[in-house]
Amino acid sequence: MTFEEQLKIKENFYNEAIRYMENAKENLRRAGKEDRFYVDEKYVKTACGIAYNGVLKALDGYFLLKEVEKRKGRKSIEYYQNNLGKIDKKLLNYLNSAYQILHLSGYYDGIRDIKTVSSGFELAYFVIEKIKP
């Protein structure tokens, strides 16, 4: 893969992941705040789901750059964990934490604690920065 091809992949996947994060932040703004909690659970769940998908989008680009074999069909968290564990164990820690906060606690459980959701977004941005051009 040439340098130009790598740069194009980074730009495409990075820009798309950032677009997801911007959409997620917009949903959080709609949730409203009261004390240390977001008010509307629906918007928090949506925001966390979108942010988590931004992480996966960035990892898809990262795997493409690292020439990880593509899997047919739907990819599971285990697919991302197994492949990332072979490449970058530090980044795997960030993925696991983002998965716990954004996907499980945020999207499924609807956690509304502002600090917790914010830490999930920080983790997401850390993963996404790995493919920044």
User: How far is residue 102's CA from residue 60's CA, in Å, rounded to a whole number?
Assistant: 18
Instruction: Kindly state the percentage of the chain with pLDDT values over 90.
Output: 89
Residue 95 tokens read as 């993925």
Pair of tokens at residue 53? 């998908």
Domain limits, the chain: 3-129
The whole-number average pLDDT for the span 47-64 is: 97
Is 113's pLDDT higher than 90? yes
Q: Which pLDDT score is estimated for 64?
A: 93
Q: Quick check: 97 and 123 in contact, CB under 8 A?
A: yes
pTM, rounded to two decimals: 0.94
For residue 117, report the phi and psi dihedrals to the nearest 5 degrees. -65, -40
What's the pLDDT band for 26 if we cut at 50, 70, 90?
very high
As given in the structure block, the two tokens for residue 107 are: 């999207």
| Third-level CATH fold of 3-129 | Four Helix Bundle (Hemerythrin (Met), subunit A) (1.20.120)
